[in-house]
Amino acid sequence: MRNASYVWRRASRAVRSSGIIPPRRYNHKMTPRDLTFVLGGARSGKSAHAERLASDSALPVTYIATARLTNDAEFNARIAHHRERRPAHWGLVEADDDLAGALAQHDEPGRCLLIDCLTLWLANLLCPADGSAPPLSHYYAQAAAFDAALAGAHGKIIVVSNEIGLGVVPLGEATRLYVDELGRLNQRVASLSSEATLMVAGLPLALKSASRA
């Protein structure tokens, strides 16, 4: 993985120097981060829990969706179910690869952004529906930009992701790469978060709280 680490460092430096994340006119030291990370397995209740947190914030909410419609009718039905469950007055942004750009564009004090979910965003980057194999450097650059956007956020941010690393080491190089990169992504988001919650059978387990961050 030495080569991957090298590419990641290069991507991080490129993001910092490229202006991808626009400069802020805020004093970061005077603005505490309000970032909640919600993760869990399939059908653990993580999305519903994240939506409740967003509603309870009493702030204007913008939902940043990473799922994309496909030729899979069952998957499209899942997307429709999520849409029907969300309040109609919430804003909606359908993010492409540039999740950092979507976050930076809509983030502002006094607003809540709900990103659901990192799992599908990573899948779109590493396993595009057209079967192409984009270079890993593209993913590392997008992920580094997202890290920077989270670190510089000033609104209330809620991020949803899957925990898929509790089973056996998967077969196949591509699958192992996906599991490894999602695990690393989850770790970075958790380290930036003021609160982190693991959902199990619809029950929230606090991993990190603002008082103990």
Find residue 64's DSSP bridge partners: 93, 115
Enter the tokens of residue 136.
């890993």
DSSP character at residue 158? E
Where does the chain have alpha helices with state H?
Answer: 2-18, 46-56, 73-85, 99-106, 118-126, 136-151, 173-192
Query: What is the CB neighbour count within 10 angstroms for residue 39?
Result: 25
Are 47 and 76 in contact by the 8 Å Cβ rule? The answer is no
Distance in angstroms (rounded) separating the CA atoms of residues 5 and 93: 31
> How far is the C-alpha of 23 from the C-alpha of 171, rounded, in Å?
43
DSSP state of 195: E
Note if 28 is an active site residue. no
The answer to whether 159 and 38 are in contact (CB under 8 A) is yes
39 strand-pairing partners: 161, 198
| Catalytic hit among 81, 82, 89, 106 | 82
Do the beta carbons of residue 67 and residue 79 sit within 8 Å? yes
Residues designated catalytic:
82
